[in-house]
Amino acid sequence: MLSPDEWQIVVLSLKVSAVAIALTLPFAFALAWVLARSRMPGKVLLDALVHLPLVVPPVVTGWLLLLAFGATGPIGGWLQRVLGITVMFRWTGAALASGVMALPLMVRAIRLSLEAIDPRLEAAARTLGAGPWRAFASISLPLALPGVIAGAVLGFARSLGEFGATITFVSNIPGETQTLPLAIYAALQVPGQDAAVARLAGISVLLSLAALVASEVLARRSGRGTHVL
């Protein structure tokens, strides 16, 4: 069905998305926890900032990543100097871009599942002899797990479809940063590639559909009326 080049594109897309979600998940969980539980001032602002990638034009997000992670950017410069690594024009940069774009959706799903947990259960665990961390790890974490997994799968689906921020930040380099959407875009620029476009688009739709269904099934399994869709 697929040519070796097309397989490579699919594999790269899956790798970029998987790494993006693995790296973003701890941040998404921490942010969701703060938004669900803390009463800190400025929470509204944090909430808005987290949701920004959802509403800002993706090309703007890509440009901001360029500023921050470019060779002379505050984070990019530090990475270059101290660790000797760069994410510019690398697949790791594509993972970073799609992780940032997936963050708001992941935070939303995880936050909903955390808000559905009765904090009084943790109080009960404390009276039974559990310290704060153990109470969290043995009560809230397992109860939130379906929501966390649903958020991760949803983020994965979003990540597979990421286009604007990625192409702005790390360009469209075959074999390095050319994920499915970027490959489809590239194929569209060349006459006579209709069949390749159709194959890649079909795979895109199938992967996204599978991820969304998986995410919704997991959210329903948590049994507390949480929905992703």
- 68 near other proteins, rule: CB under 8 A: no
Nearer to other proteins, 142 or 175 (CB): 142
Selected binder of other proteins within 124, 198, 205, 210 (CB under 8 A): 124
Do the beta carbons of residue 156 and residue 21 sit within 8 Å?
Answer: yes
Selected binder of other proteins within 7, 43, 56, 131 (CB under 8 A): 131
Stretch 141-160 residues interacting with other proteins (CB under 8 A): 142-143
Tokens of 167: 């192409």
- 139 near other proteins, rule: CB under 8 A: yes
Dihedral angle sign, alpha carbons of residues 93, 70, 24, 104: negative
- 43 near other proteins, rule: CB under 8 A: no
CA distances from 112 to 23, 30, 75, 109 (A): 21, 13, 31, 5
- 128 near other proteins, rule: CB under 8 A: yes
Q: How far is the CB of 145 from other proteins (least distance, A)?
A: 9
- 137 near other proteins, rule: CB under 8 A: no
- 127 near other proteins, rule: CB under 8 A: yes
Selected binder of other proteins within 134, 190, 210, 221 (CB under 8 A): 134
Residues with Cβ within 8 Å of 124's Cβ and at least 6 positions away in sequence, in order, are none
Stretch that binds other proteins, among 88-96, 116-124, 168-176, 188-196 (CB under 8 A): 116-124
User: Cα(34)–Cα(42) distance, rounded to whole angstroms?
Assistant: 11
Q: CA geometry: angle at 84 spanning 81 and 88, to 5°?
A: 100
- 125 near other proteins, rule: CB under 8 A: yes
Tokens of 201: 């688009």
Stretch that binds other proteins, among 123-131, 161-169, 178-186, 212-220 (CB under 8 A): 123-131
- 126 near other proteins, rule: CB under 8 A: yes
How many residues form the binding site for other proteins (CB under 8 A)?
Answer: 17
CA distances from 185 to 30, 54, 63, 171 (A): 35, 21, 19, 12
Nearer to other proteins, 124 or 205 (CB): 124
The candidate with the shortest Cα–Cα distance to 45, out of 65, 25, 31, is: 31
Residue 85 one-letter amino acid: I
Chain residues in the site for other proteins (CB under 8 A): 118, 120-121, 123-131, 134, 138-139, 142-143
